[in-house]
Amino acid sequence: MIKFPKQLYPSDLDVYLFHEGSLYESYKILGSHLLSHNEFQGVRFAVWAPHAKRVTVVGDFNNWNGFNSEMERMNNSGIWILFIPELKQGDIYKYEVTGPDGHKELKADPFAFYSELRPATASVIYKLDSYEWHDQKWMAQRIKTDIYHKPMMIYEVHLASWKQKKDGEFYTYQELADELVDYAVRNGFTHIELMPIMEHPFDGSWGYQITGFYSATSRYGTPEQLMYFIDQCHQKGLGVILDWVPAHFCKDIQGLGRFDGTPLYESADPMRAERPIWGTYSFDYSKPEVVSFLISNAMFWMDVYHVDGFRVDAVSSIVYLNHDNPLPIKLKNQYGGGENIEAVKFLKKLNETIFHKYPGVLMMAEESTEWPLVTRPTSEGGLGFNYKWNMGWSNDVLKYMKFDVSERPRHHHLLTFSFFYAFSENYVLPFSHDEMVHGKRSLLNKMPGDYWQKFANLRLLLGYLFTHPGKKLLFMGSEFGQFDEWKYAEEMDWMLLGFESHSNFYHYFKEINKFYQETNSLWRLDHEEAGFQWIDADNADQSVITFMRKGKRKGDYCIVVCNFSADVYHNYQIGVPSFGKYYEAFNSDALSYGGSGQGNSAPIIASKDASHNQPCSIEITVPPLGIVIFMKQTKTRQRGVNINGI
């Protein structure tokens, strides 16, 4: 052990802010950091363990014996510190923590930047400042981008099972940058969302039960390789969203649980600490140091890895004391309610901090209840997110689509109910991994009917996704009609692309995604009531809904007709807002997509017969289990030439 100058200690201000819950770059202070001290090169270790009797640093460098590597407690602050000379990048270590009862436990560093490959669990000394970024243009543009009035199609990916090598080994971040990024670009996605890539011990948790919140998992390579992946995304026009899990952490002995021999990151009240349904511990947001840890973690991924946003997991479990928590008694806050008051304060502080430093990023709440104002600013009483997953829409529409066509008229409300609240929040419409596991089946296999009808239903479902107000998210494999539900230990069934039905569907997905992004009426006013108007919401008997999506400019609209029955309707009358020629701009039933070819090949002249509260009307052919989109013909916009773009 070596004494080192006071200027190499965390400053008194840093320590004060950490204990206040406002040290938002605590990863620069705590953890292991390669530093220079006079003629020595070495590592400064710092860890928060306020109730520990003794903390030592152990590793291969001292034969895992901390006798000569005892840490010094800083001024009764609860932070322990030590400088060890001659250590280098790649050396592995843990903290040997002696709790107040004298029991010793080996703990991974909560702020470690890298970790051993599982099943090994040691932390790895690592510097993160060697990568040379080339995404300056993207980062500068991100600040200026108006995300609310742009198209957004997110590709949700689990890296281990997107694609695997022949021997079942995982692709590295760098190899994925050369395959996955180009694939996402070719298919018209605007963002990639990665399921959690923070270090976790068990593959089957999919990354949602974490031990290393600051450590990019070593399953897929090094931190620099992950940086390369994100850099390549940015250079090719793709944003990167990470799943982030501030609700809970796993109980594995090397992790955060009972870190200093006592409940530290979790509550001292076992009823609040336990998350029985997941077998994990919940974070204790009443502790300022935990708030510093979590907000710093979000800042870390944006600062060091240039990520463009988070899908914040399990927000309902954060804000409610009893959500997904089947305890024998109901927990209550100090006012008798079921809200987690400290957690709500944490989320507001998190979003305020993130948007202050990183304007233009995405903070998406996976919130499944009716908690109000999730996407409103904190100054207006909101939680401060800028997007919320519309899980109600996903649940309703998937429930509806599972019904046989003969049953659908009785459940028509499941299609239309979302419009009662579609503009109450800024929504993302997710068809995520959660809908395709645990026996729920893939999107394709949820669809009723024979094989042809399954694909027709899925084309219709994705058509409804692309035309419904809100941004879009699709789980990997759904773009080509994965038939089996998601299997985290195996790659997707890429061989399906060799079959005509799947190949046609894949072609359909690319075409409708392209049409969506080129048609600004489908996204320009996603979060405003002015961007949507019903033409006919009530035709339950025929299972048809008709509506308009509108852009900002006068006359910028498209008319969407969705037929959820297996019948073809000829001479089907719909109201239109003005006289003139209308043409079929998109049809999911095209032969090239695997459809039956029912459509409207010639422009249709509107009559002045009023219909559906519109002054004019047209008569069209509506394909079976299909979506058809019409536009009004102008000098610059006609069949096959849609230049009404961005």
- Report yes or no: 287 and 18 within 8 Å, Cβ to Cβ: no
Torsion over CA of 118, 120, 126 and 131, rounded to 10 degrees?
-20
Calpha distance 416→410 (Å, rounded): 13
Residues 6+ apart with CB under 8 A from 41: 34, 35, 85, 86, 88
Calpha distance 356→362 (Å, rounded): 13
How far is CA 398 from each of CA 395, 421, 625, rounded to the nearest angstrom? 5, 18, 15
260, two tokens: 């200093």
Tell me the catalytic residues.
313, 366
Q: Which amino acid is at 346?
A: F
75, two tokens: 């001024």
Return the SS3 of 140: helix
CA 282 to chain centre: 20
Rg (CA), the chain: 27
Ranges of H-type helices in 173-287: 173-186, 223-235, 270-273
CA 428 to chain centre: 10
Backbone angles phi, psi at 14, to 5 degrees: -60, -45
Torsion over CA of 180, 183, 187 and 191, rounded to 10 degrees?
30
